Amino acid sequence: MDLWWIVPVSIVFSTIAISSGVSGALFFSPFFMLVVGLSPAQAVGAGLLTEVFGMGNGLRLYVQQKVVDYAWARWLLAGAVPSVILGALVAHLLSDGALRLIFGGGLLVLAGFLFKNPTPHEDEPEASSEPIEGDVTVIEASDGTRYTYPTCSRGPGVLLAMVGGALTGMISAGLPEISTTQLIIRCKIAPRVAVATAVFTLAITALAGATVHALSATPAWHVVQWSIPGVLVGSFLGSRVGKHLPAALMEKGLAVVFAGVGLLVLSLQLTS
């Protein structure tokens, strides 16, 4: 019962993450490490496990809306799942100090990535009036919206998913930010479809990473049992709060927070 206060904190973190469209583990892992006092590997594992439950509501809505590009998701998973397993195993082989350095540096990189490439929240036109040459993908949402776009090369996407998966296994974040951005910018996929596809990919990848962390060390169940109820409430609130917040401004603010946390983790490690 001494950790009951994790519940309201988890509600706040999950509400912010869901409403802004960023990875919830970017909040939970440093919180578990710096405030709760878990080891870096345990904090990453607890962050991934918490994220799996927190994204459930959003994933369910995207599947119901039929806006997931499953063809792309299969390719992303082919790169992300093996690399998240490898990243999680590496995290338990590294010393706590080395993992803190990777964690802090990774947060700084992701903060810069988020600041430079915020996730768009407005849909592109559902189809171009000009004919599209070559292979095309057509996604028909449950609300009748039709998204048509050229099917771009899968190879670079798989490689980027491998990088994102490895980062997610080691520091619990990176895959959704990288996947969403490359689908929108490189493949010209409508943001609604890109975000849904990235969330679907992350749900399976995070579960694989959380499983490896749980099997590689003693799971922090005494912490997760409080964070999971919080994220279930936060995911419900975030899906409603997000409609009324300036998303671009929030994501830049979050990037500043992540950069600050990354610098704090690095400074504490380097001065210890």
Closest CA to 139 of 201, 199, 79, 191: 191
Who contacts 215 (Cβ-Cβ below 8 Å, separation ≥6)?
Answer: none
Q: Report the pLDDT value the prediction gives residue 86, as an integer from 0 to 100.
A: 94
Higher per-residue confidence, 133 vs 108: 108
Span 126-131, average pLDDT = 46
Mean pLDDT of all residues in the chain? 80
Alpha carbon of 151 to those of 47, 69, 71, 127: distances in Å?
A: 34, 11, 10, 14
Residues 70, 92: Cα–Cα separation, whole Å: 32
Whether the CB-CB separation of 180 and 110 falls below 8 Å is answered with: no
The pTM for the full model equals 0.77
Q: What angle do CA 24, 30, 35 make, to 5 degrees?
A: 120
Maximum CA extent, the chain: 62
Residue 128 has pLDDT above 50, yes or no: no
Q: Hunting for tokens 């700084």 — which residue is that? A: 108
pLDDT tens-digit series, residues 38-53: 888 888 888 888 888 8
Q: Report the pLDDT value the prediction gives residue 240, as an integer from 0 to 100.
A: 64
Lowest mean pLDDT: which of 21-25, 120-124, 151-155, 201-205?
120-124
Residue 249 has pLDDT above 70, yes or no: no
- Domains of the chain, by residue range, sit at 6-271
Whether the CB-CB separation of 185 and 160 falls below 8 Å is answered with: no
Residue 129 has pLDDT above 70, yes or no: no
Q: Binning pLDDT at 50, 70 and 90, where does residue 62 land?
A: confident
pLDDT tens-digit series, residues 138-161: 899 888 889 998 888 889 999 999
**Residue 268 C-alpha from the chain's centroid:** 25
Q: Hunting for tokens 């519940």 — which residue is that? A: 7
pLDDT tens-digit series, residues 167-214: 888 887 778 778 887 888 788 888 788 888 888 898 889 889 888 888
Residues 183, 121: Cα–Cα separation, whole Å: 14
**Percent of the chain beyond pLDDT 90?**
12
Residue 250 has pLDDT above 70, yes or no: no
